[in-house]
Amino acid sequence: MKSTLSKIIVAVALLVIGVFVGKSFFSSNASEAVPIPSGLTYRNVGHTADAGKAISPRAFEGQIIEVKNGGSIQEAVESASPGDLIRVYPGTYSENVYIDKSDISLQGVVINGDWPTLDGKKEINDAFLYSGDGILIENFKIVNYKGNAIMGQSGNNFVIRNNWIIDTGVYGIFPQHGKNGLIEHNVLSVIADAAIYVGMCDNVDVLHNEVFDNVAGIEIENSRHCLVENNYTHNNTGGILAFVTPGLPIKTTFDVIIRNNFVVDNNHVNFGAPGSTVAGIPKGTGILIMAADEVIVENNIITGNDNSGITIVDLANGDPKANDPNVEGNPDRLVILDNIMYNNGNETSGELKAIMLTQLDTKGPDIFAFGGGVGSTIRDKNKYRTFGLGDYGAAQISNTKDVVTMMTPEPVAPRFVSKEQLGELTYYGVCAGCHAFGTRLIGVPTEFIQMIHKDNPQGIVDYINAPKNLREDYPEMPPQNYLSEEAKMAVAEYILAYDAGLE
Amino acid sequence: MSKKNVIFKLGLVAMLLVSLVIFLAMNSNEEFIVEDNPHGMREEIVNLNSRCPPGFKLNDLNQCKAQNLYMQYDSPNGMGVGGLQTGLPEIRDGFTPQEIDLGRYLFFDPVLSGNGDMSCGSCHDPALGFSDGQATSIGNDSLKLKRGAPSLWNVAFLKKLFWDGRAATLEEQMQGPLFSHEEMNNTPDKLLTTLNGIKEYKRLFLQAFPAKEETENIELPEVYQSLAAFQASLISLNSKYDRYAHGFHDALNQKEKEGMNVFRSFVARCAECHTPPLFTNQQFAIIGTPEPNGLPLDPGAEVPQKDKTLRGAFKIPSLRNIEKTAPYMHSGNFKTLRETVEFYTKGRGHAVPEGENLLIHWHIWEPELSGYELDRLVDFLKTLTDETFTPKIPQTVPSGLEPSIKPISI
């Protein structure tokens, strides 16, 4: 009780500070008074705990870079340093923005209903590509790309929210190989595969999004510890999917909660690309669980899905692909808790239609399970029209209220590398191609460097940046100025501290 | 000015002193490096190198442990796949410097083949990206083989070896070519008899395996261990791309950056299988590439895996140093990188022979890449080249045979 109270007080205090900071920064122009990204300290308090702590541990202290109509977001990214905020004003930006830095926030500023709009004109592949940690992307309208609206390749601690995404090709929002992220309050439509696709990730919350007119609404694929909550998924071919795709390097999906979502009327004709996994999803699929384990389905409103409300299937039946001996293809230990389900299965198709006909039934079930799998349970089986749930026992839990988020309690920290380690990695990983102690390789023996630059690491750094050939009998060293400032100094100190006598 | 002069002179004197000290202290046990060989004299292999190759640090157990800048980063789920700043897959390291150096001699020594005319290096030539420049390799008796020689760069990170992934370790893999009638055409017995008949090798194996008794014969596991040690020392992680990945964004020019973005976009989807930092996710994929004229479809992993769903599946190769290893694909059907990248935009399954029903990988689709984009992809692929840690090819090998690969003059 006390801690909740103090959290609220802290949250309110932060909000006040945020407003104050915002006002003092932008008091001259009311239209610019958009709060700095707070990392959610003001949002979902008491509901999803303090999710902001998991994304950004510190207050904003970077530079603000503004991009106005006619400007380039990518140029702003290139000039930004970790910690900076790029604010993009209304206008049309036809760009591919790529962010290979960490801790960069991109914030659209919507004024009078005018959005900063990234328009791919069906010529550009992706609106945003990122690989850094701590990336925040919010308040953008993104339309007409060929590949993705927002795609991450690695990158932990991401926030993607409040974006309005229409017809951006294969995926809308697609973080891949990331840990600890939040995808919320986005609206996505007309995506040819999954609107929100969490691929090979861990600890991701997908909250409060609206996804419609897509092939797949929300897809949790080869990912663990994900919460899909409070989303409105309607008129997709399939609403919410949790599955394992074989042949990927990360082989499992488990510990997924699908909770408090509207999964209604997902009856869109399937327009997925031939050969894609989702191309095989029958229209009218509410929730699909394929080969994923430990998925809990709770308190969803699942209605009007013409094939079936929840489809549970193994890989052998669900997705005929090349086998992967390292993938276990059965959905195991699923838990179906209370859900509101009615009016599903009105127009079955494909395999389900054939199966239902053998039951002398033309209507599909609320819950359809087919193929292997063990240990699954359901809370009140008699409530629903089901098929294939014969071996489902009674659920051992009644709710998941203790799980408020799947995000990590703190941001995922980058690996700690000491200065000495960095020096050592740089020395052996780069310098050792030409330098060694006690022998001549291409460059001088390392002890020569020690002698020349004794007690003067900066001398080595200067030489690394701009070598001046000191010796006629050696080839000139190419500059190694691509090394980071930290690596240059670390390796300089490492070389000077190295005791060759120990070798 | 004068200050600089003084420093320079002092430095010079110091260097002279150091060189003198080093000269005096130079351990006569060390390998005598012959810089050039004007009189055609045989290089004398006095002793195996006691230093680790670049990219490795010697530890207290006389083991070479890998060191590289990717060790700054974590790797999601320990798999070594992700984005720019992602750790590598687990590496096979910990070999001794002597094992690595002995492996280097063995690797280039044609005495390992039954006919004494092929070494490992015949098909894995450092000058050709540790491949051989052939569409499919030439085996024993000039026999044209069915597949191309894969590059050995960064092989220490790979969990599947051979195009069809039928070997899990280097030791297992090397017995394929060594004892295949079509390839090196040797037998285990004959190989041991040969090696045990060469005094030089007996002496060098004793150095590499100091626990051996002097009277003991060379054993096969020692041969495998040494060859594995050398191959696992071939590290290429200092390309232009790597400089970009570590944060120096000027390492790539605008066209190369555009190529990188095509590469990782979900339109082209290259990075989905050729995932950084190794540029492979080490899985099988069925992509349906054409065989060169006249060859039947290669069933690939279907055979060793005994699984029809893997018909036409091959191990996804790393793309590091790909510029150096033309021609491309398992049977070398594509002569250039441009032709290779173009394959992926010519339509899903367009080259699958009639009557074959391959389970083509879902990432093979119709990305409709423009000619401009294909050119940029090639630009980017060329940024993955790094041969700075290329090992020395021995000028002479312990058997006394002519090395099948000539040293490159640098």
Identity of the highest mean pLDDT range in A447-451, B213-217, B379-383: B379-383
Name the residue in chain B with its Cα closest to that of A97.
Answer: B261
Does the pLDDT of residue A17 top 80, yes or no? no
Partners of A179 on chain B (C-beta within 8 Å) are: 76
Q: Predicted confidence band at A57 (pLDDT cuts at 50, 70, 90)?
A: low
Per-residue pLDDT tens digits for B308-336: 999 999 999 999 999 999 999 999 999 99
- Residues across chain A: 503
State the DSSP H helix or E strand holding residue A303, giving kind and residue range, or none if neither. strand A301-303
Alpha-carbon distance of B228 to B64, in angstroms, equals: 13
Token pair of A216 as six digits? 């797949």
CA-based R_g, chain B, Å: 23
Does the pLDDT of residue B83 top 60, yes or no? yes
Does the pLDDT of residue B165 top 50, yes or no? yes
3 state DSSP class of B166? coil
Return the percentage of chain A with pLDDT > 90, whole number: 76
Phi-psi region of A121 (alpha: psi -120 to 50; beta: other; left: phi over 0): left
Mean pLDDT of B189-217: 96
8 Å CB contact of A177 and B81? yes
Partners of B359 on chain A (C-beta within 8 Å) are: 320-322
pLDDT recorded at residue A439? 87
pLDDT recorded at residue B13? 52
Does the pLDDT of residue A312 top 70, yes or no? yes
Per-residue pLDDT tens digits for A74-85: 999 999 999 999
pLDDT recorded at residue B21? 46
Lowest mean pLDDT among A110-119, B9-18, B242-251, B276-285: B9-18
pLDDT recorded at residue A473? 86
Q: Is B402 annotated in the active site?
A: no
3 state DSSP class of A226? strand
Per-residue pLDDT tens digits for A314-368: 998 887 788 898 999 999 999 999 999 999 999 998 888 888 888 888 899 999 9
Token pair of A423 as six digits? 């020096």
8 Å CB contact of B281 and A249? yes
Q: List Cβ neighbours of A100 (8 Å cut-off, separation of 6 or more).
A: A130, A131, A132, B84, B244, B245, B249
**Is cis: bond before A82, omega within 30 of 0?**
no
pLDDT recorded at residue A10? 58
Partners of B165 on chain A (C-beta within 8 Å) are: none
Q: Predicted confidence band at A427 (pLDDT cuts at 50, 70, 90)?
A: very high
Name the more confident of B87 and B4.
B87
pLDDT recorded at residue B410? 41
8 Å CB contact of A250 and B271? no
Most B CBs within 10 Å, among A146, A150, A179, A439, to test the B interface: A439
Lowest mean pLDDT among A463-477, B8-22, B147-161, B228-242: B8-22
Q: How far is CA B149 from CA A471, B162, B164, B328, in A?
A: 41, 9, 12, 10
Mean pLDDT of A151-172: 96
Report the residue from B22, B246, B310 with minimal CB separation from A438: B22
**Mean confidence (pLDDT) of chain A:** 89
Per-residue pLDDT tens digits for A380-421: 999 999 999 999 999 999 999 999 999 999 999 999 999 999
Per-residue pLDDT tens digits for A124-137: 999 999 999 999 99
Does the pLDDT of residue A47 top 70, yes or no? no
pLDDT recorded at residue A29? 44
Report the residue from A100, A250, A275 with minimal CB separation from B77: A250
CA-based R_g, chain A, Å: 27
Q: Predicted confidence band at A35 (pLDDT cuts at 50, 70, 90)?
A: low
Report the residue from A275, A417, A422 with minimal CB separation from B364: A275
Token pair of A394 as six digits? 């009674």
Q: How far is CA A186 from CA A141, A165, A203, A209, A214, in A?
A: 10, 8, 19, 5, 14
Lowest mean pLDDT among A477-491, B43-57, B342-356: B43-57
Does the pLDDT of residue B25 top 50, yes or no? no
Contact A449, A460 (CB under 8 A): yes
Strand-pairing partners, residue A124, are none
Please identify among residues 256-315 of chain A the ones whose CB lies closer than 8 Å to any CB of chain B: 273-277
Lowest mean pLDDT among A53-57, B112-116, B176-180, B324-328: A53-57
Q: Predicted confidence band at B26 (pLDDT cuts at 50, 70, 90)?
A: very low
- Strand duo A171-176 + A194-199: pairing: parallel
Report the residue from B69, B266, B281 with minimal CB separation from A147: B266
Alpha-carbon distance of B391 to A442, in angstroms, equals: 12
Does the pLDDT of residue A284 top 80, yes or no? yes
Q: Predicted confidence band at B78 (pLDDT cuts at 50, 70, 90)?
A: confident
Q: Is A123 on the interface with B (CB under 8 A)?
A: no
Partners of A434 on chain B (C-beta within 8 Å) are: 388
Q: Which of B183, B222, B258, B373 is catalytic?
A: B183
Alpha-carbon B144 to chain mean position: 22
The Cβ of residue B14 has, within 10 Å, a number of other Cβ atoms equal to 15
Buried b (16+ CB within 10 A) or exposed e, B199-224: eebbebbbbbbeebeeeeebeeebbb
Lowest mean pLDDT among A385-394, A482-491, B35-44: B35-44
Does the pLDDT of residue A24 top 70, yes or no? no
8 Å CB contact of B249 and A487? no
pLDDT recorded at residue B70? 97
> In angstroms, how far is the first alpha carbon of chain B from the final one?
36
Does the pLDDT of residue A249 top 50, yes or no? yes
pLDDT recorded at residue B7? 56
DSSP B174-239: HHHHHH-TTTT---HHHHHHHHHT-HHHHHHHHHHSTTS-TTPPP-HHHHHHHHHHHHTT-----S
Name the more confident of B39 and B185.
B185
Domains for chain B: give ranges and CATH numbers.
58-232 (1.10.760.10), 240-384 (1.10.760.10)
Alpha-carbon distance of B330 to B76, in angstroms, equals: 30
Q: List Cβ neighbours of A352 (8 Å cut-off, separation of 6 or more).
A: A282, A307, A308, A311, A364, A368
The Cβ of residue A398 has, within 10 Å, a number of other Cβ atoms equal to 11
pLDDT recorded at residue A281? 93
Does the pLDDT of residue B117 top 50, yes or no? yes
pLDDT recorded at residue A28? 42
Residue A477 CA neighbour count, 13 Å, CB half: 25
Q: Is A175 on the interface with B (CB under 8 A)?
A: no
Mean pLDDT of B375-403: 95
Buried b (16+ CB within 10 A) or exposed e, A262-290: bbbbbbbebbbbebbbbbbbbbbbbbbbb
Buried b (16+ CB within 10 A) or exposed e, A91-130: eebebbbbbbbbbbbbbbbbeeeebbbbbbeeebbbbbbb
CA distance A97 to chain B (A): 10
Q: How far is CA A192 from CA A349, A386, B154, in A?
A: 20, 30, 37
The one-letter amino acid at A252:
T
3 state DSSP class of B283? coil
